[in-house]
Amino acid sequence: MLKRKEFILGATVGLVFAAAATAGGVIDWPGANAAEASGRLIPSAGASGLAFAPPQGAPLSFADIFDQVSPAVVQIDVETPIERPRGGLIPIPGLPGFGFQAPQTPQGEQEEDEDAPTAQGAGSGFFISADGFIVTNNHVVANATKITVKLADGRELPGRLVGRDADTDLAVVKVEGSDFKFVSFEEAAEPRVGDWVIAVGNPFGLGGTATAGIVSARARDIGDGTTPYTDYLQIDAAINRGNSGGPTFDIYGRVIGVNSAIFSPTGGSVGIGFAIPASIAKSVTDRLMSGQAIERGYLGVQIQNLLDEYREPLGLPDDQEGAYIADVTPGAPAEQGGLRAGDIVVALNGRPISSSSDLTRQVGQAAPGDNLRLEILREGRRQTVNIRSGTRPADINATLQGQDEDGDQNQPGRPQAPTGEVVEGMTVAPITEALRSRFSIDEGVRGLVVTAVAESSRAGRAQVPAGAVIQQANGRPVATVTELRAAIASAREAGRESVLLLFRVPQGNRPFVLELSDAK
């Protein structure tokens, strides 16, 4: 499984969150001095070009590069509060469901407890300006009540959180002072798979540690759901707990990434680490340093990849790419602009869309208020929809969480005889007020209600629930049994073996590929 880096030193158990450290490139940051400013670490000779090819004979040793950049890398120690439920379990950070019994707290003393428990954590970071701005991971400093920065020369300074962005897992911390040694991001030159990288950081609290490897892959979507705007660099330099937030350097000492996550079945380094690319890290941290809010474009849709099994019932070619719109948020820009569930977005402002992640990132790059020209496939025809971008809500992840499943939620009261006609093992009927009340179907939902399902049918084996509403069949709205039968007949005539149904359930819209029974 993917382990996001969160480091709890002093605890005997916890999730292993590790990240690699790397740095490189020269840029101008808010608060930084001119190119000749005191403290700037200049890339090695030969780094002026865009190529990442090593100089002749390299890499015989990484010692010179380490000596050059290590003064800019720091250790970040944090204290975070531990929730202490009265008389309940005090959770162990990183192990949901585990903890130890908290003592009963007298009611008069509940708000006067000055010895509330805290967790100790540690990560890495690096200076990006001479006047004390430090880049690290959001998950290293999120919710920290105390931040301490340990420099390579042994000094310890109190740190202040300047800003953070959970969607890219980046944060900026500030320490007071001047003439700090610093490094800069490399944006112009993009690393290639196979290029050497060096990680410098604080694994297991062992500050000033260097590891080396290569770029293993680019544009990785690690699928953790928490960083939707990041295409990661994959590297194989050893990174472990405490490396989070550290820089990844190329062989010229230019920062090409910020280490954030590892893939590990064991909790330790297995040679698969992920770094936030410099091109993303610079733009975000630039805004954080200058006090700007991180605002991103917003459509208001729930999307997923266009799966292979969707293409056949929709009559799409095998190589068709795009993002499938499973649901549209009421009142959001997408609904106001005419986007509908079942649409497939294939291009945005002239740029092809290859996946749901691709659409998320391209929309996120837009400024609120920008015009978004979406090319879509709807009912087999290509159309254009123009939408004015909104502003992505800060609590978007909370609003997208589905409701808890409840086996009795859809069928209150006594069991009733199924209503409707049988189609492919499902008893379906148009929505009536009685059915809307019986199955708790929201106002505004249109389609056919599944009132019963034969267990031996393909729909039954797939556990299609009673109370689900069929809104579309192969991308076309259905409100009557005749329309559903016509969609199935059309699929059979075209030689297709399945239909793509869009169901509405209490948790939201769910696309489902129903394999058709043998025609009789």
Percent of the chain predicted with pLDDT > 90: 17
Residue 493 belongs to what H/E stretch?
helix 481-493
pLDDT given for residue 315 in this prediction: 86
51-60 pLDDT, tens per residue? 566 555 556 7
pLDDT given for residue 399 in this prediction: 42
How far is Cα 289 from Cα 221, in angstroms, rounded to an integer?
A: 27
Percent of the chain predicted with pLDDT > 70: 74
CB of 385 within 8 A of CB of 328?
Answer: no
Q: Classify the C-alpha dihedral 251-256-260-262 as positive or negative.
A: negative
Could you tell me which residues come within 8 angstroms of residue 368 by beta carbon, excluding any fewer than 6 positions away? Answer: 295, 296, 297, 298, 389, 390, 391
**SS3 label, residue 105:** coil
CB of 509 within 8 A of CB of 478?
Answer: no
How is residue 289 written in tokens?
Answer: 């340093």
pLDDT given for residue 180 in this prediction: 93
How far is Cα 353 from Cα 99, in angstroms, rounded to an integer?
A: 45
How far is Cα 219 from Cα 75, in angstroms, rounded to an integer?
A: 28
CA distances from 215 to 129, 149, 236 (A): 26, 29, 7
Mean pLDDT in residue range 417-424: 72
pLDDT of 15 over the 70 cut: no
318-372 pLDDT, tens per residue? 889 999 998 888 888 999 999 998 999 999 999 999 888 889 888 988 888 889 9
- Integer Rg of the chain from CA: 27
Q: Residues spanned by CATH 2.30.42.10 within the chain?
A: 297-399, 421-515
How far is Cα 212 from Cα 230, in angstroms, rounded to an integer?
A: 23
Q: pLDDT band at residue 387, thresholds of 50, 70 and 90? A: very high
CA distances from 145 to 78, 80, 118, 324, 409 (A): 7, 6, 9, 42, 42
Protein fold of 421-515: Pdz3 Domain (2.30.42)
Put the strands of the sheet holding 170-174 in their side by side order: 156-158, 146-150, 73-81, 118-127, 133-136, 170-174, 160-165
How far is Cα 513 from Cα 450, in angstroms, rounded to an integer?
A: 16
Mean pLDDT in residue range 364-381: 88
158-175 pLDDT, tens per residue? 999 998 888 888 999 999
pLDDT of 68 over the 90 cut: no
Q: pLDDT band at residue 7, thresholds of 50, 70 and 90? A: very low
pLDDT given for residue 414 in this prediction: 35
How far is Cα 393 from Cα 391, in angstroms, rounded to an integer?
A: 6
pLDDT given for residue 160 in this prediction: 92
β-strand partners of 220: 232
pLDDT of 36 over the 80 cut: no
Give the lowest-confidence range in 29-33, 277-281, 293-297, 491-495: 29-33
pLDDT given for residue 31 in this prediction: 31
432-460 pLDDT, tens per residue? 887 888 888 888 888 899 988 887 788 88
Q: Residues spanned by CATH 2.40.10.120 within the chain?
A: 1-108+115-291
Right CATH for 1-108+115-291 from 1.20.1090.10, 2.40.10.120, 3.40.50.2300, 2.40.40.20: 2.40.10.120
Strands (E), 278-411: 297-298, 301-305, 323-328, 344-348, 351-352, 371-378, 381-388, 390-391
Q: Classify the C-alpha dihedral 183-185-190-196 as positive or negative.
A: positive
How far is Cα 204 from Cα 241, in angstroms, rounded to an integer?
A: 6
By CB atoms closer than 10 A (0-12, 13-18, 19+), residue 123 is buried
pLDDT of 411 over the 60 cut: no
Mean pLDDT in residue range 275-299: 87
pLDDT given for residue 51 in this prediction: 58
**SS3 label, residue 309:** helix
* Residue owning tokens 């009557």: 480
Q: pLDDT band at residue 396, thresholds of 50, 70 and 90? A: low
How far is Cα 138 from Cα 244, in angstroms, rounded to an integer?
A: 9
492-510 pLDDT, tens per residue? 888 888 889 999 888 888 8
**SS3 label, residue 362:** helix
Residue positions counted in the chain? 520
Q: What's this model's pTM, rounded to 2 decimal places?
A: 0.62
CB of 182 within 8 A of CB of 31?
Answer: no
Mean pLDDT in residue range 62-86: 82
What does pLDDT average to over the chain? 76
Q: Give exposure, 135-152, as e/b (b: 16+ Cβ within 10 Å).
A: bbbbbbbbebeebbbbbb
pLDDT of 113 over the 80 cut: no
pLDDT of 5 over the 60 cut: no
Q: Are strands 344-348 and 448-453 parallel, antiparallel or unpaired?
A: unpaired
How far is Cα 411 from Cα 227, in angstroms, rounded to an integer?
A: 37
Give the lowest-confidence range in 83-87, 313-317, 356-360: 83-87
How many Cα atoms occupy the beta-carbon half-sphere of 493 within 13 Å?
6
The CA-CA-CA angle for residues 155, 157, 163, to 5°, reads 140
pLDDT given for residue 319 in this prediction: 87
pLDDT of 213 over the 70 cut: yes
Which candidate, 495, 500, 453, places its Cα nearest to that of 473?
500
pLDDT of 92 over the 80 cut: no
Q: Give exposure, 159-172, as e/b (b: 16+ Cβ within 10 Å).
A: bebbbbbebbbbbb
Give CATH for domain 297-399: 2.30.42.10
How far is Cα 207 from Cα 74, in angstroms, rounded to an integer?
A: 8
Give the lowest-confidence range in 117-126, 216-225, 247-256: 216-225
Residues involved in catalysis: 139, 169, 244
DSSP 8-state secondary structure symbol assigned to residue 505: E
